[in-house]
Structure 1
Amino acid sequence: MIKQGTSGMPLLKQQAMERFDVDEVLTRDELKSGESLSRMLGKQQSNVMVIEDRVDLSVFDTDNVKEQQKPNVDFSWARKAIEACRVVKDDHEIAMIRHANVVSSYAHEQVLASVKRAKNERELNAVFVMHCHANGCREQAYGCICASGTNASTLHYVHNDMPLTGRLNLLLDAGCEWQCYCSDITRTFPLHGKFTKESRETYELVLLMQSTCMKMIRAGVLWEDVHMKAHTVAAEGLRQLGIFHSHLNTQDILDSHITTRFFPHGLGHYLGMDTHDTGGNANYEDPNPFFAYLRVRGTLPAGAVITNEPGIYFRQFPLEQELKDGMWKGVIDEEVLKRYWEVGGVRIEDDILVKDDGYENLTTVKSDVDFIEAAVFASD
């Protein structure tokens, strides 16, 4: 049923059929009458698949539904079927996501061009929303994350109002929605036009994590393998920076699970009518700490849209207390780590269309260091 709001003229039945490409349109009164339901059920008893708690089963008890027509109601398959269907997008859906990415990418670029005139996080948040709205995308796909300095170590930061003075970088995770389809883009940039040594090292490591994983994306790839590749690159990179002791090899680091403290979320999630879209088959009860927060499990199908969003975060909670308790003795060099607390966190996120022979990046705003620094530097 298409629910028409109370504001504006309602669509006529023929207009609704043409606009939404559906087979039949009924008014609310026609649905309530029961005659249409009786006609759709047919003369014999049938099976009806519904999502539990989403359908008022009393509709089947109306006088217009004969006893022999009352269906067998199945609660087990509707949700599974809908979620599976939503994973693979058709050309129209991909076009919607592509358009949302174009508008969001432009808005990200406008934020970069406004950095040096801003005094606090909310001003940059407002720049992003304004440019989305001005370009026809009035809805945000999710609440913007506009996190400066150490605030960027909080994955789902919500305040978006802190002053920018004295902070190194800003992490902007923001995407608009177009015709009910979402985008989801993250860029991290230096507030003063140039990354510090530690910030640049972290940024380049995250960029390497993303580009390495990007090369693996194609139909049939096991997403757990791609996710673990990101952890492997993180382990090697943090060891090279001296944050992990040099005597450790990559497998030693992975076996300790220490990278889950610096990269504490999944590599990506499906994207569509929801930002964290359906069909990922997540298992949040998985005892393996690498996979406990992974929103997508199993192989990727062609036509899916998934985010590729590695990150490195220097989270003083819980890491500082764990270090005091001696938990990572022999793994982390605490003196080196102290130099990175101010970096906060770096995440780079693009929206990726999975294809039989590879992938297409639907996100158009660039992420290389030279572009990021030049865009902020030119914002004077």
Structure 2
Amino acid sequence: MTDYETVLKGKYPAKAHAKRVTDYIRSKIPDAKGVLYLEGTHTKMQEDSDHPEPFRQRRYFYYLTGCPLADSHFIYDLASGTSTLFIPPVDPEEVIWSGMPVTAADAKELYDADRVLYTTDVNAELARLGKGAGTTAFAILHQVLDAISFIEFEDKDFDLLKRAIEECRVVKDDYEVALTKKANAISTTAHHAVMQMVKKAKNEQELEAVFLERSVAHGAKNQAYHSIHAAGRAAATLHYVHNNAPLEGKLNLLLDGGAEWNCYASDITRTFPISGKFSKESRAIYDIVLKMQLECIKVLKEGVNWDDVHLLAHKIAIEGLLALGIFKGGDADEILKARTSVAFFPHGLGHYLGMDTHDVGGNPNYADPDPMFRYLRKRGPLAAGSIVTVEPGIYFCNFIIEPYLSDPVHSRYIDADVLDKYWDVGGVRIEDNLLITANGSENLTPTIKDPDELEQLISSN
């Protein structure tokens, strides 16, 4: 049994999370009294239909409960440190169609809560806990039903709780790391299955089907995001969504896909040759991107400024593109200063990962006037215990690059004739999920990425 499977035999540590969030709130309001109040996602019917919309549990609620059930509520009493989960009562008519739901007794065994009651008791419990001087109901704006009453509380705060949970979610505990490892293991199985199928497939959608089938077969019924299966020049589109184009005549497949395990995401990208053998140009670009990733991973540790790691990736990209002759007419420092490399590497190096693929707490600045950092989803120092993706890429996107070719500031550094040899490469991205530690990092992604191993796996099938 793997180490993460042993950890996952226990309960999701919801009470420990509630304690962390409480500590954060009291760091801002030392004498805070009252309750933390959260609601899970409520069932919503599809328009003009008697079927519900696809369900996705609210991440703020899950962080303090570990409960995946719809229409649930949560109260944490700051004075006693008591957590109470409220789940929907048994509806006899619904049992006819869907079978017995989770009962309060079941939920007490499944989830890390001191008490489990039914949702019919929520307002009575709020009224009881709201009595007394100085009590505050901490909740999240627009995530409270109209039927819920905070009338007994002296004050209501709809700002601090969300901020507190977001800050606490940055640093993962052992259980959260285990969930992420499990998601990575399943996603790796799916990635490898696509690699083994790619030579036989005729269309991107066949490969998407393989990825989904392997994920579901291993118990991961939800994807962390809509996977990308981009063949040929489509790989130059960062978040390609169609996944329905033929593979014939195309060099590479960029597969960006990650299954979710109990609300925790994986986010993995691999680029590999459809034929089983990289073209000369594809291998040259792949080697640059792999060097970008490996060198960036080497410098990761607690306190490292993510902006500096992103800058390092650009420097390595510039060196590589100069060596290939795509860049010309200046030295690496000049090209870096001009920001010409943004034409080929337009996105950020990575982002925090957790219950959301682009997880909270990264403090991005999308108004940054510097195009090199504008789309960096994480800014500033890395925290020990955080999980970050490292996903450098080099892309040959006409829409992005052609304006640079028309701009004398940038065109003097780009050899258009050499560039013409690389359009069919499309794009290369390599992405792993890294747990930051005090002195380095732990790679949670076991998916193969050595180019020779990729070719061997694809060709052997």
- TM-score, length of structure 1 as denominator length: 0.94
CA distance, structure 2, for counterparts of residue 16 and residue 44 of structure 1 = 33
The match for 1:362 is 444
Q: Match for 1:40: what amino acid?
A: L
CA distance, structure 2, for counterparts of residue 346 and residue 14 of structure 1 = 51
CA distance, structure 1, for counterparts of residue 343 and residue 114 of structure 2 = 51
Q: For the Cα contact (< 8 Å) 1:4–1:10, is it kept in 2?
A: no
1:102-117 to structure 2, matched below 5 A, reads 102-117=185-200
Q: Which has the higher contact order (CA 8 A, sep 6+)?
A: 1
CA distance, structure 2, for counterparts of residue 339 and residue 203 of structure 1 = 15
| Percentage of identical aligned residues | 49
Residue among 136, 146, 149 paired with 1:60:
149
CA distance, structure 1, for counterparts of residue 294 and residue 103 of structure 2 = 49
The match for 2:133 is 44
The match for 1:30 is 121
CA distance, structure 1, for counterparts of residue 321 and residue 416 of structure 2 = 13
1:313-352 to structure 2, matched below 5 A, reads 313-324=395-406, 326=408, 328-352=410-434
The match for 1:206 is 289
Q: For the Cα contact (< 8 Å) 2:136–2:154, is it kept in 1?
A: yes
Q: Match for 1:11: what amino acid?
A: V
Q: Match for 2:397: what amino acid?
A: R
Q: Match for 2:121: what amino acid?
A: E
Q: For the Cα contact (< 8 Å) 2:231–2:251, is it kept in 1?
A: yes
CA distance, structure 2, for counterparts of residue 242 and residue 82 of structure 1 = 48
CA distance, structure 2, for counterparts of residue 348 and residue 221 of structure 1 = 21
| Cα deviation code 1:327-361 (max 9, x no counterpart) | 52311011000000010000000011111121111
Establish whether residue 301 from structure 1 lines up as the match of residue 390 from structure 2: no
Shift of 1:15: 2.2
Q: Give unpaired runs (5+ residues) of structure 2.
A: 1-38, 40-66, 72-93
Shift of 1:376: 1.1
Shift of 1:167: 0.3
The match for 1:215 is 298
Residue among 147, 170, 193 paired with 2:276:
193
Structure 2 residue matching 1:147: 3-state secondary structure: strand
Shift of 1:53: 1.6
Q: Match for 2:287: what amino acid?
A: E
User: Cα gap change, 1:72/1:211 in structure 2, threshold over 3 Å: closer, same or farther?
Assistant: same
Q: Give unpaired runs (5+ residues) of structure 1.
A: none
Shift of 1:324: 3.8
Establish whether residue 230 from structure 1 lines up as the match of residue 321 from structure 2: no
Q: For the Cα contact (< 8 Å) 2:171–2:386, is it kept in 1?
A: yes
| Cα deviation code 1:267-315 (max 9, x no counterpart) | 1111111111111111111111111100001111111111000000001
CA distance, structure 1, for counterparts of residue 155 and residue 180 of structure 2 = 38
CA distance, structure 2, for counterparts of residue 291 and residue 58 of structure 1 = 44
CA distance, structure 2, for counterparts of residue 292 and residue 8 of structure 1 = 50
Residue among 316, 322, 339 paired with 1:239:
322
The match for 1:285 is 367
Give every structure 1 segment of 4 or more consecutive aligned residues whose post-TM-superposition deviation is greater than 6 Å: none
Shift of 1:79: 1.8
**RMSD, matched Cα:** 1.6
CA distance, structure 2, for counterparts of residue 328 and residue 299 of structure 1 = 31
Establish whether residue 156 from structure 1 lines up as the match of residue 239 from structure 2: yes
Structure 1 residue matching 2:269: 3-state secondary structure: strand
Farther off after superposition, 4-13 or 253-262: 4-13
Shift of 1:9: 2.1
CA distance, structure 2, for counterparts of residue 312 and residue 219 of structure 1 = 27
CA distance, structure 2, for counterparts of residue 361 and residue 342 of structure 1 = 31
The match for 2:224 is 141
Establish whether residue 275 from structure 1 lines up as the match of residue 357 from structure 2: yes
Q: Match for 2:417: what amino acid?
A: E
The size of the alignment, in residue pairs, is 370
| Cα deviation code 1:132-190 (max 9, x no counterpart) | 11111111110010000000000000110100011000000001011111111000000
The match for 1:12 is 103
| Cα deviation code 1:27-61 (max 9, x no counterpart) | 11111xx2211122242231232222222476336
Establish whether residue 256 from structure 1 lines up as the match of residue 338 from structure 2: yes
Q: For the Cα contact (< 8 Å) 2:136–2:153, is it kept in 1?
A: no
